[in-house]
Structure 1
Amino acid sequence: MTAHSETAAGTHATDWRAWQDSWDRQQEWYMPDREERFRVMLDMVEACVGRAPRVLDLACGTGSITARLLARFPDATSVGVDLDPALLAIARGTFEGDARVAFVTADLKDPQWTRTLPHDSYDAVLTATALHWLHSAPLGTLYGQLAGLVRDGGVFMNADHMIDQTTPRINAAERALRHARMDSAKTGGAVDWAAWWALAAQDPVLAGPTAERFAIYGEHADGDTPSATWHAEALRGAGFGEARVVWGSPSDAMVLALK
């Protein structure tokens, strides 16, 4: 992937859009239905809080949700929060100069992380395929914090790996088919997580942030991926009035909680 070019001054100009696109392709290797979950997420934003929401893009990564939010709702605003310096570099580069977007560096496991945000309340807090690295106890704590950030009538949505452990044979069959398709796509040239980060480490602009990223996280961390039922119950217990699944695939689900 060519994501930078040499300028006349001899410095590297990074093509942030190329990095955004390559991140999308890498994520789609794992989740072919990724755009479908984003579409339903934004449908429910429109249904619940309208077309000009103030959004918190939680564990925002490169700003995938923010990009789709603003493309669909030009009057929306978004605050992205993450700890990953490499993905935040891509996000900040992509949205540089867009007054509708701001990014904050914060650790969601820090009890004081909400103090870093520019607003006290949000119409919608959105996250996708990001919180599965948290175990149930800290995730429950985070849900309590989010209940304090979402305004009355606002929404929180989490689209992520939510495993129903009561159906092991179904889970195994789905996983086998999914991984067979992933292997086929990789043979055809698809870039996986490890290969994508190897490319980032070779980029003159992203090499430093990528090294910082691995110092923070290591290779990859996964939590205990509780079921969608657990998420809905935890969100109601945290102070949301209603919570249920609004989208699902054989391996993933999206839970919406209404304040």
Structure 2
Amino acid sequence: MTTTTGTGRTGTDWQAWQESWDRQQEWYMPDREERFRVMLDMVEACVGSEPRVLDLACGTGSITARLLRRFPKATSTGVDLDPALLAIARGTFEGDDRVSFVEADLTDPDWPARLPYGTYDAVLTATALHWLRSDPLAALYGRVAALVRHGGVFMNADHMIDETTPRINVAERIRRHARMDRAMRDGALDWAEWWQLAAEDPVLAGPTARRFEIYGDHADGDMPSARWHARVLREKGFEEARAVWCSPSDTVLLALK
């Protein structure tokens, strides 16, 4: 997606890419904005309106964008490994000294050493950690616990599947697929179509190719229940942990240090 200035110079419209990513994600998660609102409500309630935030597996910076709109005095560190999504994030927030980005593999035990701060008021993540298997995720939770200051919070908004309710799970999948079919008929881009568009863009083509070398089409992770997440977070150093919001398919899990 390119723009042309009055001088005839062309450049990448990073905001347009940011918005197209949001629309593509909403194709799967129509409650996405409500999840973000609840996350920021709880940030304000627990740590105030000027938080230092770690945007974990930040992607294009969707959480950071909403954080800074609501809390202009907040600061954010985004960390991710995806070169294409990081390119969009860096382009979107270029020149904003409240924001920094770190390229790192969250399965690497040493990734926290790359961060500009030793502790954070809040660590937030959304629709990302289901890419990890349970054992690497539990290890990641231990490293996250060390980064959250006493009294600070961690929140994970993601798909969390309760295997004790198989018939409800089937009904939810039927509902979700019907909604996605309607969105497709309305012309919404799905995951594969969005990435194809990125692969055809002259600026994002290279980062997109590298991204697929790293991840393939999609990582084969786990989606444990909210109960599992809460238990593991307590084991790893948080004092309290429970769901603070849920839909038929997604949960916002909050852990307090």
> How many pairs are equivalent?
257
Among candidates 240, 243, 257, match of residue 242 of structure 1? 240
Q: Deviations over 1:142-185 (max 9, x none)?
A: 00001100000000000000000111111001110110110111
Mapped to 1, the partners of 2:62 and 2:158 lie a distance apart of: 14
Among candidates 121, 124, 131, match of residue 123 of structure 1? 121
Q: Could you say which residue in structure 1 is the equivalent of 2:204?
A: 206
Among candidates 181, 185, 188, match of residue 187 of structure 1? 185
Q: Could you say which residue in structure 2 is the equivalent of 1:31?
A: 29
Q: Could you say which residue in structure 1 is the equivalent of 2:42?
A: 44
**SS of corresponding position for 2:242:** strand
Report deviation, 1:71. Answer: 0.1
Q: Could you say which residue in structure 1 is the equivalent of 2:103?
A: 105
1:155 aligns with 2:124: no
1:58 aligns with 2:68: no
1:75 aligns with 2:79: no
Mapped to 2, the partners of 1:8 and 1:249 lie a distance apart of: 46
Mapped to 1, the partners of 2:222 and 2:14 lie a distance apart of: 33
**SS of corresponding position for 1:256:** strand
> Under a length normalisation based on structure 2, what TM-score does the superposition of the two structures give?
0.98
1:142 aligns with 2:135: no
Q: Deviations over 1:41-82 (max 9, x none)?
A: 000000000000000000000000000000000000000000
Among candidates 91, 94, 98, match of residue 92 of structure 2? 94
CA RMSD of aligned residues (A): 1.2
Q: Deviations over 1:9-46 (max 9, x none)?
A: 98740000100000000000000000000000000000
**SS of corresponding position for 2:252:** strand
**SS of corresponding position for 1:173:** helix
Is the contact made by 1:12 and 1:205 (CA closer than 8 Å) also made in structure 2?
no
Q: Could you say which residue in structure 2 is the equivalent of 1:166?
A: 164
Mapped to 1, the partners of 2:64 and 2:231 lie a distance apart of: 27
Distance 1:215 1:10, change over 3 A: farther
Is the contact made by 1:4 and 1:13 (CA closer than 8 Å) also made in structure 2?
yes
**SS of corresponding position for 1:79:** strand
Comparing 11-20 with 88-97, greater Cα deviation is found at 11-20
Mapped to 2, the partners of 1:44 and 1:160 lie a distance apart of: 16
Report deviation, 1:222. Answer: 3.2
Mapped to 1, the partners of 2:172 and 2:144 lie a distance apart of: 32
Mapped to 1, the partners of 2:156 and 2:203 lie a distance apart of: 31
**Identity over the aligned pairs, expressed in percent?**
76
> Under a length normalisation based on structure 1, what TM-score does the superposition of the two structures give?
0.97
2:187 maps to a residue whose letter is G
**SS of corresponding position for 2:144:** helix
1:247 maps to a residue whose letter is W
Report deviation, 1:5. Answer: 3.2
Is the contact made by 1:12 and 1:204 (CA closer than 8 Å) also made in structure 2?
no
